[in-house]
Structure 1
Amino acid sequence: MAGVNQPGDLQLAVGWEPSEWDAGDIPMSRRERAESTGSYLASVPPGISDLDFDIPSEVAAGAEDALVEISRFDAELAASLPRADGELAPLAVVLLRTESASSSQIEGVTAGAKALAIATLNESSGQNARMVAANVEAMQKAIDLADDLSTDSILAAHRVLMHDQAYAHPGRLRDGQVWIGGGPTPHTATFVPPRHERVPALMDDLVAFCRRTDLPVLTQVSIAHAQFETIHPFNDGNGRTGRTLVHAMLRRSGVTRRLTVPVSAGLLTDTDAYFAALGSYRDGDPVPIITQFGRASFAAVGNGRRLVSDLTEIYADWQQVLPSRKGSAARRLLPHLLSQPAVTIAHVQQHLDVSQPAAQRAVDQLVEAEILKQISTGKRDRAWIAREVITVLDDFAARSGRRG
């Protein structure tokens, strides 16, 4: 290895290089224009693929404990949930959805569970809900590609995430300067990522780091995430794409197999500390970001356990109140409602592979049992929601600090 990194070691700290900027016709005040003349400083992140990291033993132990808790939670679901034709419910999708919503919230994009469920159906919904729904699909893409962790798989996740936002150049590394905070030019920014010419090599170095097998998993995941956010390889969607990388790495390492532990939801409990930890990493100290990921993991697992308990209780109650026979379309739909609590007749037809009349009968039976409630009127484009599931998902979000 090239060297050993210690907390605060300049080996990991970003460097800086002067760069030129032409503000052109960008509207700004006289003060802003005066502050935006001449060159600015762009960061120069170091390569990390061949660094060793000397993490204090107590920090490493805390990260290991958090990793064990994540793995235990993953195993608990597989061992404890009753099975019939499969799992009680695709709870991976439930947790994936709540993680995606929380991930987007870190960047100020919010959507309640009802809006998100409707957006997943591609029905009329607000922009925020559609963006969060895209984040769900992007995270699933990253997880699916965990066995082939590469720049191409990261680009694929970004392409799905930003597919309808041309300004973000979906699936392409940026070809210009970006900056974080501070106004209309990079001169007064809070942080200026590297010049775009450096991004391809930095991403190759990051992928090489992610593929290493000689580092503790959560330490490696935390550092990789912080390095990704420092590189900021895209015009937009960096935060959400970066958090998909977390879950791809957890899957790749074998820590999780069936679900997405909602780590971003844990980070929401203290976003100031999270952003401060990213700043410390850029100054050369990886300890705060590792600590934050450990804390986030414990918070996420505790919250996730409560979510699973609430959903399991709802499912048991549904089985008691629904009079239809075992194997009926209505009963077969119950597990699906835990992960997709908004449905249309067409959606039920497709999911259960039944006729339109059979799908309508199933929905009618669930309405009669007060499991579903119609939320739109008229004979066309009708939709129904499982209100109890919406409630527990929003409660989960509230416990995470998110407000939809």
Structure 2
Amino acid sequence: MVQGFEIHYEEYRWESDPDAPPTSRRARMAARGPYRAAIPATVAERAFSVSGPVEAGASDALSEIVRFDGELSAGILGQDDEFTPLAAVLLRTESASSSQIENVTAGAKALAMATLQEKSDPNAQLVAANVEAMQRSVAMADELTEQTVLDAHEALLRGQDHAHPGRFRPAQVWIGGSSSSPHTATFVPPHHERVRAAMADLMDFCRRTDVPVLTQAAIAHAQFETIHPFADGNGRTGRVLVHVLLKRAGATRRLTVPVSAGLLVDTESYFAALTAYRAGDPEPIVERFSEAAFAAVGNGRVLHRALLDRFAEWEGRLTARRGAAVWRVLALLVRQPAITVKFVQEQVGVSAPAAQNAVDQLVGAGVISPVSANRRNRVWLADEVITALDEFADRAGRRG
């Protein structure tokens, strides 16, 4: 327990929505009178510490993150800015939430199709947009302000008017309980008039350099979820913040380690850690982050090895000369396992006939196969990559 770190509460008058659907007498009785909203403790200048064993665990976990990031950077499948297939499926894992606020999942095939903007389910389209938005957001790590967070939210929730993309929430929200009032909620975040000041305080905390990196990320995450600054998309935006902090501190150069997604594999202990944090004890959330980091790195290494092995096997199947376009397409498949001739043409920078020839060579080598018999705008799929990505998601406990 850190003295003065726990949240307090204040009462607000509740005005029910006259246009809300009718409810039972019991629900109406439960929604009468004022409700209590949280007042988060300030963190910008607060002095606190966690026990030696907890901090040692966080330090070891951060070392694993740094080591794994370096392994990916040195690998032949590393790209200039991202190890894309790993990033995409990690974000899919990150985007899946068991809370009432958010529950977004998509299989690797659907996500690959959505990346091509081919027909896919809405969840896959959303996750594909999240991949791009999170990559852009993390690129802004050096300019960590409230506006950075607003920009990330706008990119993630663009087109979803109910979420007020790029704006702090204009009304009270709550977690759990009835949708008609906050009276039976499991947690009621601060009143919307307190959000801007609370976020300014959090950003000041995030810019501190006297707090160990993973501990800082864990506390920032918990504080963000406590403030709950948006009408929707808090989970996704909060996970962006975690990756921004890791990159800002130099722990990662690539967006590859789904630390916060690991928290959601065991939701019971994760929510218990958030509850403990709000009661003034930051240790459980730091411990959960450390455990999640180790799990994420272990799982990521298995996927990385599987993709390296798959790539090596493909190389053995091809007989084209080394300068041929098909070799560049082969590397492209690891980043994006669904392709069209047009996509290959644009990404590799070759003519349409050369792109078609490369696709034909990959089909002949058994690397890719057509998704359908439709010859117009045909999509080819690297099924072995899809399998590796889905196996990664299964190990992480998030199935599309």
Same fold (TM over 0.5): yes
Aligned identity (percent) is: 55
Pairwise CA RMSD of aligned residues?
Answer: 1.5
Cα separation, 1, equivalents of 2:381 and 2:264: 27
Partner of 2:60: 65
- Note the alpha carbon deviations across 1:281-315, whole angstroms, 9 max, x for none: 11111100000000000000000111100000000
The one-letter amino acid paired with 1:14 is I
Inter-CA distance 146–192: structure 2 relative to 1 (3 Å threshold): same
Matched, 1:12 2:8: no
Cα separation, 2, equivalents of 1:89 and 1:315: 18
Pairwise CA distance, 1:131: 1.6
Matched, 1:367 2:363: yes
- Kept in 1: contact 2:72–2:83 (CA 8 A): no
Show structure 1 runs of 5+ residues with no match: 1-6
Secondary structure in structure 1 of the residue aligned to 2:83: helix
- Note the alpha carbon deviations across 1:67-100, whole angstroms, 9 max, x for none: 0111111112233x248xxx47975222321221
Inter-CA distance 21–10: structure 2 relative to 1 (3 Å threshold): farther
Matched, 1:266 2:257: no
- Kept in 2: contact 1:274–1:289 (CA 8 A): yes
Partner of 2:20: 26
Secondary structure in structure 1 of the residue aligned to 2:11: strand
Partner of 1:189: 185
Cα separation, 1, equivalents of 2:76 and 2:167: 43
Inter-CA distance 243–115: structure 2 relative to 1 (3 Å threshold): same
- Note the alpha carbon deviations across 1:144-165, whole angstroms, 9 max, x for none: 1111111111111111111121
Matched, 1:303 2:299: yes
Partner of 2:337: 341
- Note the alpha carbon deviations across 1:347-388, whole angstroms, 9 max, x for none: 111101111111111111111111111113323232111100
- Kept in 2: contact 1:99–1:264 (CA 8 A): no
Partner of 1:159: 154
Matched, 1:293 2:286: no
- Note the alpha carbon deviations across 1:142-194, whole angstroms, 9 max, x for none: 21111111111111111111112111011111111111110121111111111
Show structure 2 runs of 5+ residues with no match: none
1:283 to 272, 279, 285: 279
Pairwise CA distance, 1:346: 1.5
The one-letter amino acid paired with 2:149 is I
- Kept in 2: contact 1:89–1:335 (CA 8 A): no
Cα separation, 2, equivalents of 1:327 and 1:181: 58
Q: Which 4+ runs in 1 deviate beyond 6 A?
A: none
Aligned positions of 1:1-400 closer than 5 A:
7=1, 9-23=2-16, 24-27=18-21, 28-79=23-74, 81-82=75-76, 87=78, 92-106=83-97, 107-184=102-179, 185-400=181-396
Inter-CA distance 323–88: structure 2 relative to 1 (3 Å threshold): farther
- Kept in 1: contact 2:371–2:379 (CA 8 A): yes
- Kept in 1: contact 2:372–2:378 (CA 8 A): yes
The one-letter amino acid paired with 1:133 is A
Q: Select between 360-369 and 282-291 the one with higher mean Cα deviation.
A: 360-369
Cα separation, 1, equivalents of 2:182 and 2:250: 40
Cα separation, 2, equivalents of 1:210 and 1:165: 28
The one-letter amino acid paired with 1:95 is L
What TM-score results when the alignment is normalised by the length of structure 1?
0.94
The one-letter amino acid paired with 2:138 is I
Q: Select between 247-256 and 349-358 the one with higher mean Cα deviation.
A: 349-358
The number of equivalent residue pairs is 393
The one-letter amino acid paired with 2:10 is E
What TM-score results when the alignment is normalised by the length of structure 2?
0.95
- Kept in 2: contact 1:268–1:400 (CA 8 A): no
Cα separation, 1, equivalents of 2:50 and 2:232: 32
- Kept in 2: contact 1:92–1:258 (CA 8 A): yes
The one-letter amino acid paired with 2:230 is F
- Kept in 1: contact 2:8–2:39 (CA 8 A): yes
- Kept in 2: contact 1:142–1:247 (CA 8 A): no
Pairwise CA distance, 1:15: 0.8
Secondary structure in structure 2 of the residue aligned to 1:65: helix
Secondary structure in structure 2 of the residue aligned to 1:187: coil
